[in-house]
Chains A and B, each alone.
Chain A
Amino acid sequence: SAVISQKPSRDICQRGTSLTIQCQVDSQVTMMFWYRQQPGQSLTLIATANQGSEATYESGFVIDKFPISRPNLTFSTLTVSNMSPEDSSIYLCSVEKRAGGILSPLHFGNGTRLTVT
């Protein structure tokens, strides 16, 4: 398994500002993902963070709004830009490992609870 440290754990931000969320893993991982969980909802994949190249975004999410960095195999950041109250959600980092062709369960950080006022 992987230990994932995500910070901040929570934040209250004003509309129009930006917040960068950090995700640090204790070991090298193949894939890193960012998810959003809106209040009372399920998890929605925002993007796959690719090491050394631009992130791959899911439908409905764009780089200008959610820029992502992944400078190495253990670290990634997600920025929520120009925030509005609709961005109030839990943002979760997750990682995937493959060993011998076997996919590990996706492990999740504890999430960042973002409230935009």
Chain B
Amino acid sequence: AQKVTQAQTEISVVEKEDVTLDCVYETRDTTYYLFWYKQPPSGELVFLIRRNSFDEQNEISGRYSWNFQKSTSSFNFTITASQVVDSAVYFCALNDYKLSFGAGTTVTVRA
């Protein structure tokens, strides 16, 4: 069974639009970590944000923000005022006893 579900396969926006990426996870553990990673066309995997299961406080970091809702097992990620350099594949990941990745969402930001 899929542990991490990213329902959106592709998102295309015009520069300066906001982009919200959905992520729903499944785990029986009470202690776990959630992550968002970015993979630009160059291929490297870049860590963006981390949240542990005991901290539901939602934060903003620059143009990135996230919405962690344990009640709905969701960990959504928003890029505000998108830029062309944000074009990449974004992966949501869950670490309960090992790291499991979602299928990824390809974000294309057009100038």
Stretch at the interface among A12-20, A41-49, A66-74, A75-83: A41-49
With A90-B43, A105-B35 known to touch, is A42 a contact of B98 (CB < 8 Å)? no
Chain B residue with minimal CB distance to A1? Answer: B47
B33 to chain A, nearest CB (A): 5
Which of B35, B99, B104 interacts with A33 by CB under 8 Å? B99
Give the contact-size bracket for chain A: 10 to 19
Interface size on B (CB < 8 Å)? 18
Q: Please determine whether A42 and B43 come into contact, CB atoms closer than 8 angstroms.
A: no
Q: Does B44 contact A (CB under 8 A)?
A: yes
A96 to chain B, nearest CB (A): 8
With A103-B95, A105-B35 known to touch, is A113 a contact of B103 (CB < 8 Å)? no
* A–B Cβ pairs within 8 angstroms, 5 of them: A42-B101, A43-B91, A45-B98, A102-B52, A103-B33
For the complex of A and B, 9 pairs with smallest distance between CB atoms: A108-B45, A105-B47, A43-B101, A42-B101, A42-B103, A110-B44, A105-B50, A42-B104, A103-B33
